[in-house]
Amino acid sequence: MTLVELLVALALIAALAGLLAPAGRATLDEWRAWGWQRELISGLDRARTRARAYGEAVTLCGGEPATGCDPGGWGRGWFLARDPEGVVRGGAPPDADAILEQGRGGGAGADVAAGFHVRRGVRFEPERWHVPNGTFTLCRSGEAVRGVVLSNVGRVRAGEGNSSDCP
């Protein structure tokens, strides 16, 4: 194999890599969006199940446990906490031992828009079946990528999301 043949082969590999890189990035973004969607669905399901199984009220809301629920914090992540008095959803940071789980946000270049009824968080109580229904939309560049839909009985499903919710 000569040096010229090696350089031609490397040039072809570089050209193919340049053509495939945008497609690979789009696929990676789709995987991240799918992972975000699955993680939030699982978190909401576990919150509902925990409230019923353990007989304790819990709240799942956007933001970080150290700062408490933040209606605009869904893009940074979410957390699930025991909330017997209902103060977590009001913005009070939970005690460290009250935190049950944390989830990730939308990731770099993405934001999460929560619908009006669920923006402040969702509180699941053991005696009540009803929660506010709403949607969570993962947005990139003002377009909906994925969504999560919560019904008023606490059931959750994957959805498309709504671009009109995106900032």
Tokens of 76: 């940074």
At residue 26, does pLDDT exceed 70? no
> In the prediction, which pLDDT does 151 show?
93
pLDDT value, residue 82: 94
pLDDT at 15: 81
pLDDT, average across residues 157-162? 86
Contact predicate 110/138, CB 8 Å = yes
Average pLDDT of span 158-164: 82
Please state, in angstroms and rounded to a whole number, the distance separating the CA atoms of residues 77 and 64. 7
Round to whole Å and give the CA distance between 74 and 148. Answer: 13
* pLDDT tens, position by position, 103-159: 988 888 889 999 888 989 999 999 887 888 999 999 988 889 999 999 999 899 998
User: Which carries the bigger pLDDT value, residue 38 or residue 87?
Assistant: 38
Distance CA 11, CA 21 (A): 15
The residues spanned by each domain of the chain are: 3-107+119-128
Q: 42-98, pLDDT tens digit by residue?
A: 999 999 999 999 999 999 999 999 989 999 899 999 999 999 888 887 778 898 999
Q: What is the pLDDT of residues 7-23, one digit of tens each?
A: 888 888 888 777 766 66
Per-residue pLDDT, 21: 67
pTM confidence score:
0.81
Average confidence score pLDDT of the chain? 88
Amino acid in position 67: T
